[in-house]
Amino acid sequence: MPKKTCKIIIEGGNDYVIAVKDNQPKLHRHIQNIAATRKPTSRIIETEKTRDRLTTRTVEVFHDVNGIDPEWTGIQSLIRVERIGTRKGKKYHEIVCYISSLICSAKEFALGIRGHWGIENCLHWVKDVVFKEDNSTIRMGNAPANLSILRAIALNILRRNGHISITIAQRFLSHDIDKLLALVE
């Protein structure tokens, strides 16, 4: 996310927690360097076992923002999240860095970041994988945005009617116009 966006967020009276990706190499390196050389202000380590996945998350927060380009408006915290675990028997290790305009504990940031992934998994993943949004060949004008809105409406209608699995709901409702119409009555 560009520096201008951080400025707009802060000027609008809001706060941010933004993932720092490889497209911001200087900032990413700086956060990694601080994490390697300084003691965090706050740290939490959590282990979670779900189905075929075992994950240990370490969230570290640093409030030393010296050396960060001042154009990153409002930056108060640097966050480093390390995930180590196994998925379907295969080991993985990933590190994700964040910047934030908030001053919070590692526990608070961990909850917020996990909450964001809940949104990612419940909305974006469903739209990308189940509704095959990424495979759409519709690319002209407002059509992609309009179809994305329609997919979100469909998803909300299904969830509001108690369908937890959108894939199962699609199978159940396909080719039955009466069932489909009953959802919006």
| Every domain of the chain and the residues it spans | 3-115, 133-183
Strand partners of residue 48 = 55
Q: Quick check: 60 pLDDT over 70?
A: yes
Q: Read off the amino acid at residue 47.
A: T
The predicted pLDDT at position 70 comes to 87
- Integer Cα distance of 34 and 37 in angstroms: 5
Q: Read off the amino acid at residue 177.
A: I
The predicted pLDDT at position 75 comes to 94
Q: Is the dihedral of CA 144, 149, 153, 158 positive or negative?
A: positive
List pLDDT tens digits, range 102-141.
Answer: 999 999 999 988 876 665 666 667 787 788 888 888 888 9
- Rounded to an integer, the average pLDDT of 21-30 is 87
The predicted pLDDT at position 87 comes to 83
Q: Is the dihedral of CA 172, 151, 127, 16 positive or negative?
A: negative
- Rounded to an integer, the average pLDDT of 62-86 is 92
The predicted pLDDT at position 156 comes to 86
| Whole-number percent of the chain with pLDDT over 70 | 95
* List of residues 6+ apart from 87 with CB closer than 8 A: 52, 53
Is 93 in contact with 84 (CB distance < 8 Å)?
yes
The predicted pLDDT at position 163 comes to 87
In this structure, what is the dihedral angle of CA atoms 95, 98, 102, 103, given to the nearest 10 degrees?
A: 40
Helix (H, G, I), strand (E, B) or coil at 115: helix
The token pair at 60 is 């570290």
